[in-house]
Structure 1
Amino acid sequence: MTRVRVVVSGFVQGVFFRESCRQEAGRQGVAGWVRNDAAGTVTAEFEGDPAAVEAMVAWCRRGPAHAAVEGVEATTLEPTGSTRFEVR
Structure 2
Amino acid sequence: MARKHMIVHGRVQGVGFRATAKQIADQLNIQGWVKNKSDGTVEIDAEGESDHLSHFIDQLNQGPSPFAKVSAIDITESETEKGYKKFKIVE
Where on the TM-score scale, by shorter chain, does this alignment land: which range?
Answer: over 0.9
Taking structure 2 as the reference length, what is the TM-score of the superposition? 0.92
Q: Any gaps of 5 or more consecutive residues in structure 2?
A: none
- Deviation track 1:3-25 (CA, whole Å, cap 9, x = no partner) reads 00111101110000000000000
Q: Which amino acid aligns with 2:81?
A: P
Displacement after TM superposition at 1:53 (Å): 1.0
How many angstroms does 1:31 deviate by?
0.2
Partner residue, 1:84: 86
Moved over 3 A (4+): none
Query: How many matched pairs?
Result: 88
SS at structure 1 position matched to 2:39: coil
**Structure 1 gaps, min length 5:** none
Report the 3-state secondary structure (helix = DSSP H, G, I; strand = E; otherwise coil) of the residue aligned with 2:4. Answer: strand
- Percentage identity across paired residues of the two chains: 31
Query: How much has 1:81 moved relative to structure 2?
Result: 1.3
C-alpha RMSD of matched pairs (Å): 0.8
